[in-house]
Amino acid sequence: MAIQWFPGHMHKARKEMAKVLPEVDVIIEVLDARIPWSSENPMLANIAGDKPLLRVLTKADLADPVRTEQWLVELRRHERHDAIAITAGDPAITKAIPQRLKALVPPPTSPRLKPYVAMVMGIPNVGKSTLINKLAGRVVAKTGNEPAITKRQQLITLSEHWRLRDTPGMLWPKVENEASGYRLAATGAVRDTAMDSSEVAAYLLDHLCVHYAEALRARYGKTLPLDESVQTLEAIGKMRGCLGGGGLIDFDRAGRLLLSEFRAGLLGGMTLETPAMRQKEEAETAKRLAEIAARREQRREKKSEERSARKARKKNS
């Protein structure tokens, strides 16, 4: 699914983040535990460079705990990277973050007079502001259950030793992996007005019907059909009264209902991707982009040859 949602403040934020990066000691990248790979912004990786990196998987209470553990192992593979999963109901884990940050930062070679600075990065609606408020112990960042709440950077003092630099949530101009686009839409990283709710819901059901069939039937009934996602969505819509003219199913309403209940965790803990899926989809995307580049190069060469042929004919005439 093509996501066409890259507000102007995101472009501005990218430039501002790169500008202040030399003052930053460590990066905190906030990821959605339900989609740890798809919520990893490739632009942020380029901006962060070789800075030490702590990935914080938020909304872990909405994710599959078995999959979350798999992702934590995967994300800790790099020497200067660490990863931690947090939930809304366990503040003790959040309080451990400063110590994890300290372990990542190289020890100073001389007495340090200034506080360490951690830059907080992440896609929209991933829970950055909520995390910052918990770390600060007070409300210092505006929160909301929709993307693009934070629109400018701010520097927040945690203690005499640590400061946080909050940044706006950023997507990237083009999501190359189609499946990642659907996952971002399903979890609410983009505004609902930028997507077709029924299409996203059908994609979500393609995954849930295979991996979380029991949870779906626990929520929507033991007779819920699971063989085909559109049929499943139709059954959910009929059950919940999502009807339009002539008593036909309103698929948009049914899609919005399913997405709302998924995002709220009413279906149970669910994760939409695994490290193995990441490896497979990265290879498929790389192959597809290489094929597109090859076709583009062929068209360029053909046009060049045609121009040369026209010039030769003109010269000989």
Residue 238: CATH number of its domain: 1.10.1580.10
Q: Model's pTM, two decimal places? A: 0.84
Between 18 and 266, the more confident residue is 266
Rounded to whole angstroms, the Cα distance separating 288 from 284 reads: 6
Residue 225 belongs to a domain = yes
Same domain, 156 and 239: no
Structure confidence by residue, pLDDT tens digits, 109-161: 778 888 999 999 888 889 888 888 888 888 876 554 444 444 456 788 888 88
Give the residue numbers spanning the domain of 257.
196-263
Kindly state the percentage of the chain with pLDDT values over 90. 47
Asked whether residue 74 falls in the same domain as residue 213, the answer is no
Q: Please indicate, yes or no, whether residues 79 and 159 belong to a single structural domain of this protein.
A: yes
The CATH number for 22's domain is 3.40.50.300
pLDDT of 291 over the 80 cut: yes
Instruction: Give yes or no: residues 256 and 153 share one domain.
Output: no
On whether 126 is known to bind a ligand per the annotation, the reply is yes
Q: Are residues 159 and 205 in the same domain?
A: no
Question: Is 68 annotated in some ligand binding site?
Answer: no
In a domain, 217, yes or no: yes
Mean pLDDT, the chain, integer: 86
Q: Is the pLDDT of residue 101 over 50?
A: yes
Is 27 within the bounds of a domain? yes
Residue 169 assigned as binding residue = yes
The answer to whether 130 is a known ligand-binding residue is yes
| Residue 128 assigned ligand-binding role | yes
| DSSP string computed for the chain | -------HHHHHHHHHHHHHGGG-SEEEEEEETTSTTTTS-HHHHHHHTT--EEEEEE-GGGS-HHHHHHHHHHHT-STTEEEEE--TT-HHHHHTHHHHHHHHSPPPSS---SPEEEEEEE-TTSSHHHHHHHHHTS--S---SSS----S-EEEE-SSSEEEEE------S---SHHHHHHHHHHTSS-GGGS-HHHHHHHHHHHHHHH-HHHHHHHH-TT---SSHHHHHHHHHHHTT-B-GGG-B-HHHHHHHHHHHHHTTTT-S--S--HHHHHHHHHHHHHHHHHHHHHHHHHHHHHHHHHHHHHHHHHH-
Quick one: pLDDT band at residue 77, thresholds 50, 70, 90?
very high
User: Do residues 12 and 158 share a domain?
Assistant: yes
Q: Which residues of 30-65 are buried (b: 16+ CB within 10 A; e: fewer)?
A: bbbbbbbbbbbbebbeebbeebbbbbbbbbbbbbbe
Residue 268 within a domain? no
pLDDT tens, residue by residue, 36-64: 999 998 877 777 778 899 999 999 999 99
pLDDT one-digit tens code per residue, 272-283: 999 999 999 989
Asked whether residue 280 is assigned to any structural domain, the reply reads no
Residue 244 known to bind ligand: no
In a domain, 70, yes or no: yes
Q: Which of 82-86, 93-97, 232-236 has the lowest mean pLDDT?
A: 93-97
Mean pLDDT (whole number) for 277-303: 89
In a domain, 173, yes or no: no
- What backbone torsions phi and psi does residue 29 show, to the nearest 5 degrees? -100, 120
State the pLDDT at residue 125: 84
